Amino acid sequence: MNLTLSAGQRAAAARFDELFGEDMRDDLRRMGNRELGAGAIAPLDEDETDVRQAVWQTFCELGGLRGLTVAEQVVVAEKVGAALYQSPWADTAVAIELAAAAGHDDLGARMTDGEAVAVAVRERTGDEPDRPGRLDLDGGVHAVRQFVAFAADVSWFLLAGVAAAGPRLLLVPGDHPGVTWRRHDDIGRGDFYEVTFRGVPVADVVELAAGAPAADAWAAALVTARIRHAAQLVGAAQAALDETVAYTRERRQFGQPVGSFQGPAFRMADLSTRVHAARLLTCYAAWLADEGDDARLAAYEALATAADLVRSAGTEAVQLHGAVGMTEEHDAQLFYRRAAVDALLWGRPTELRRAAAALLTEAVRRR
Amino acid sequence: MRFNFTEEQEEFRRQVREFLAEDRVRKVADAVRHLPPREEPGLLDVYRWLGEKRWLAVNWPPEYGGLGGTIVEKSILTEELIRAKVPDLVHIVSIDIVGLVLLLVGTEQQKRTYLPALAAGEQNWSVLYSEPGVGSDLAALRTRAEPDGDGWRLYGRKIYSLKSQFADFALCAARTTDSAVRFHGITLFVVPMRSPGVQIQPIWNMSDEQFCDVTLDGIRLTREHVIGEVDGGWQVINEVLPVERTGLEFQAKARRLLDEVLQRAARDGTLDDPAYQQRLVELHAAATAAHLMAWQVISDLRDGRLDGVTTARSKLYATELFKQISEFALEIGGLDATLSGWDAADNGGGRREAAHREGPGITLSAGTSEIMRYLIASTGLQLLS
């Protein structure tokens, strides 16, 4: 029992101190911003794309995807979350794991070096990632996918789906002419797209897995994806809290700092306690995964807890900042809006708890 | 980070668990469960048996009756006592609170006089801090030790203490010097509770453990009764308070109650009902978090780190969680869960009713939730200034 960060975790975090430090923060947090309502029609801004690519390359060169244990990945994920850095990182990590499981070490290495991947799993916008959408393999690959992150930037789509012959995990080249996309306009103003695969020849596609192995590999990949995502949300919640603490220490009303009143201060104390709890749950799930133990229940619980937390943190951040927290130049509203999407991205908390309940029930009955 | 125990620690847990499963221990635990109203457990035979094995104060040095273990083994014992439904309060107060104070600031003579009997489970102590009108703001206490020759005479009234009716001695905070700085001038004394100047009245409250109303009327004390420095008690109290706030026993109690709720829900089918599953999973996740938070504090303590904010978070989280679980235990159990253990139809379900009466006390004792939030906000977040 030693619940302090390991040397490996500290080293992994330290590598990203500069990239995710104070100087870069404002730019990173707003990298995906678009004019409201413009998401679907605006062409990609080349300068923005260049910045995004440069940050991604730096992230990869710093080893953001290279040889990290899950416990090390979660400390990196916290930094990603605190910076509100939206990137293909989460999806690419999933693809690297699946490529390794399928024996495609060459592809995995290229992804580790920066060939970004976008997970394409939802057929309808309201779908859950546990249930990949339909896939038509008749005369090439046909599918429609929603909430595909960074579709315009990536080297590969990781297309998860269920064809007539069963589940498939496919890698489709990002620049294939048979793939088109349009950007969603979501509350978090993220880089999400609807992607249409229209008759991509099977010969142009890499099949990572098919049938039951594909379903198993996808389920396993979701476990680690959820642990990483939980950590990302913990990082975002911590950052929202930090911003709020800093602001309420400066902002004065009634002749004293707002943070000197117990009303706001106690709410921040509660939030800080919840951040701490969610962080430990996440680290615990990561440790189980690294040990090769069954991390499913811990992963569901960590993500559901972190998702509830990050929404509270965003809500509290805006409320405790006051009206200024709603203004566009302020970060509080960013945390609030991003939390709305990020809390659902790897599964609605209600669905995560439903899945957790099945495992918990099994465990109680076994005892 | 490493979330598992060493082989030796796991082995210690196995041995403790095995002992607590013995018939003689189960008989004691059953007898406690069937105590009539307004009776409560004091020093139990189980403590004496644990003392014989040197497990009761396993973390104390061998010369005082322990095994020279760490707070990790001590915490394993506490978790197992709670899991086995053996009352732990007398043990916690005597070993974890009083024992720690004596170990930290007691004289060699005091340690040799008092610790072995505590470690053997033959004596127990209580703690006399709160007074009428004096709770969280302990420095406002009015109990006085008035100079009397080479010593003092103690006058005052202490309320809301637990288990004082069974105590051989008590750790008592009293004012020895009036000071402009009110944190100065408080002294900790050993008070022999069987002295004629000590009167104890019960204050009945909603939990199964009575509060004690202790009147101290001119008890004669000397230098030998002073724990630590004269006028320097405040520092000791503050050094020890965080150790009461590891959250360890509270999370263990929360976990035991949740396990009971889950087992019942598995038997009656509510565990399969999605309407209840959502909350059960939330509480299960929180109980896991509370466990991790407490063990983080314990491993910090083992490594010589004591962080008042981490402990405050752990205590706040575990105790508030206990109340949430006890409330949901009634919700999921329905009116059946509101029946006490003394109800004729009781089938062991009274524990949920008792837990719900116990809950409010644990967010009050050892520092209220509001004091915990104050510590987190002020020391942790640099707010409130």
Domain containing A338 — which CATH number?
A: 1.20.140.10
One domain, residues A313 and A225: yes
Chain A residues in contact with B72 by the CB 8 A cut-off are 1
Answer yes or no: is B2 within a domain: no
Question: Which residue type does B120 have?
Answer: A
Cβ distance of A272 and B299 shorter than 8 Å: no
DSSP alpha helix (H) spans, B223-273: 233-244, 248-268
Give pLDDT tens digits for A171-202: 999 999 999 999 898 999 888 999 999 999 99
Cβ distance of B289 and A305 shorter than 8 Å: yes
Tell which of A66, A87, A112 closes a domain: A112
Our count of domains for chain A comes to 3
Interface mutation vs chain A, best among B7, B255, B281, B324, most A CBs within 10 Å: B281
- pLDDT confidence bin for A25, thresholds 50/70/90: confident
One domain, residues A233 and A158: no
Read out DSSP for B291-323? HHHHHHHHHHHHTT---HHHHHHHHHHHHHHHH
Nearest neighbour of A353 by CB, restricted to B2, B277, B293: B277
Report the residue of chain B nearest A284, measured CA to CA. B3
Answer yes or no: is B385 within a domain: no
**What pLDDT sits at residue A43?**
56
One domain, residues A156 and A67: no
**What pLDDT sits at residue B278?**
98
Cβ distance of A357 and B274 shorter than 8 Å: yes
> Which segment of A31-35, A36-40, A264-268 scores lowest on mean pLDDT?
A36-40
Interface mutation vs chain A, best among B8, B384, B385, most A CBs within 10 Å: B384
Cβ distance of A365 and B5 shorter than 8 Å: no
* Residues 83-122 of chain B whose Cβ lies under 8 A from any Cβ of chain A: none
One domain, residues A102 and A122: no
A15 contacts: CB under 8 Å, gap ≥ 6: A62, A63
Report the residue of chain B nearest A273, measured CA to CA. B313
* Residues 270-289 of chain B whose Cβ lies under 8 A from any Cβ of chain A: 271-272, 274, 277-278, 280-282, 284-286, 288-289
**What pLDDT sits at residue A42?**
53
How many other C-beta atoms can be found within 10 angstroms of the C-beta atom of residue B24? Answer: 10
One domain, residues B92 and B137: no
Nearest neighbour of A3 by CB, restricted to B1, B9, B284: B1
Q: Which residues form the domain of B113?
A: 7-123
**What pLDDT sits at residue A34?**
67
Tell which of B104, B123, B142 closes a domain: B123
Cα(B192)–Cα(B194) distance, integer angstroms: 6
Tell which of B237, B254, B269 closes a domain: B237
One domain, residues A35 and A164: no
Q: Which residues pair with B201 in a beta bridge?
A: B213
A81 contacts: CB under 8 Å, gap ≥ 6: A231, A232, A233, A234, A235, A236, A237, A238, A239
Q: Which residues form the domain of A165?
A: 117-210
Yes or no: say if B342 and B216 are a contact pair by the CB < 8 Å rule. no
Question: Which residue type does A350 have?
Answer: T
One domain, residues B213 and B249: no
What is the maximal distance between C-alpha atoms in chain B? 72
Our count of domains for chain B comes to 3
Nearest neighbour of A281 by CB, restricted to B280, B289, B295: B289
Tell which of A112, A143, A165 closes a domain: A112
Tell which of A112, A147, A164 closes a domain: A112
B230 contacts: CB under 8 Å, gap ≥ 6: B176, B187
Can you tell me the mean pLDDT for A41-50? Answer: 71
Cβ distance of B373 and A9 shorter than 8 Å: no
Residue A334 pLDDT more than 80? yes
Single out the residue of A346, A340, A283 nearest to residue A312, CA to CA. Answer: A340
Tell which of B123, B147, B175 closes a domain: B123
Cβ distance of A353 and B296 shorter than 8 Å: no
One domain, residues A147 and A182: yes
Residue A35 pLDDT more than 70? no
* Closest chain B C-alpha to A78 CA, distance in angstroms: 16
Cβ distance of B373 and A269 shorter than 8 Å: yes
Answer yes or no: is B68 within a domain: yes
Query: Dihedral of CA B369/B370/B374/B377: which sign?
Result: positive
One domain, residues B345 and B225: no
Burial class (CB in 10 A: 0-12, 13-18, 19+), A269: buried
Chain A residues in contact with B300 by the CB 8 A cut-off are 3-4
* Residues 227-266 of chain B whose Cβ lies under 8 A from any Cβ of chain A: 262-263, 265-266
Nearest neighbour of B277 by CB, restricted to A4, A276, A354: A354
Answer yes or no: is A1 within a domain: no
One domain, residues B202 and B217: yes
- pLDDT confidence bin for A283, thresholds 50/70/90: very high
Cβ distance of A4 and B374 shorter than 8 Å: no
> What's the CATH code of the domain at B38?
1.10.540.10
**What pLDDT sits at residue B47?**
96
Residue A40 pLDDT more than 60? no
One domain, residues A256 and A131: no
Give pLDDT tens digits for A85-140: 999 999 999 999 999 999 999 999 999 999 999 999 999 999 999 999 999 999 99
One domain, residues B148 and B230: yes
> What's the CATH code of the domain at B268?
1.20.140.10
Q: Contacts for B147-154 with beta carbons within 8 Å, 24 or more apart? A: B148/B220, B150/B222, B150/B223, B151/B220, B151/B221, B151/B222, B151/B223, B151/B225, B152/B176, B152/B189, B152/B220, B152/B221, B152/B222, B153/B218, B153/B219, B153/B220, B153/B221, B154/B189, B154/B191, B154/B197, B154/B216, B154/B218, B154/B219, B154/B221
* Closest chain B C-alpha to A152 CA, distance in angstroms: 38
Can you tell me the mean pLDDT for A13-33? Answer: 88
Cβ distance of A284 and B288 shorter than 8 Å: yes
> What's the CATH code of the domain at B167?
2.40.110.10
Chain B residues in contact with A1 by the CB 8 A cut-off are 2-5, 9, 72, 295, 298-299
One domain, residues B280 and B341: yes
Cβ distance of A245 and B296 shorter than 8 Å: no
One domain, residues A16 and A87: yes
One domain, residues A189 and A251: no
One domain, residues B374 and B264: yes
Answer yes or no: is B1 within a domain: no
Give pLDDT tens digits for B130-188: 999 999 999 999 999 999 999 999 999 999 999 999 999 999 999 999 999 999 999 99
**What pLDDT sits at residue B243?**
85
One domain, residues B260 and B361: yes
Residue A338 pLDDT more than 90? yes
Chain A residues in contact with B281 by the CB 8 A cut-off are 300-301, 304, 353, 356-357, 360
One domain, residues A302 and A246: yes
CA A40 to chain centre: 22
One domain, residues B71 and B50: yes
One domain, residues B164 and B51: no
One domain, residues B336 and B321: yes
Chains A, B: CB contacts under 8 A, how many? 152
Chain A residues in contact with B303 by the CB 8 A cut-off are 4
Cβ distance of A364 and B381 shorter than 8 Å: no
Cβ distance of B299 and A4 shorter than 8 Å: yes
Give pLDDT tens digits for B272-308: 999 999 999 999 999 999 999 999 999 999 998 888 9
Give the SS3 label for residue B129.
Answer: coil
Which parts of chain B have pLDDT scores under 50?
A: none
- Please give the backbone phi and psi of residue B351, each rounded to the nearest 5 degrees, phi first: -65, -30
Cα(B103)–Cα(B101) distance, integer angstroms: 5
How many other C-beta atoms can be found within 10 angstroms of the C-beta atom of residue A167? Answer: 20
**What pLDDT sits at residue B374?**
98
One domain, residues B250 and B375: yes
One domain, residues A46 and A180: no
One domain, residues A202 and A219: no
- How confident is the prediction for chain B on average, in pLDDT? 95
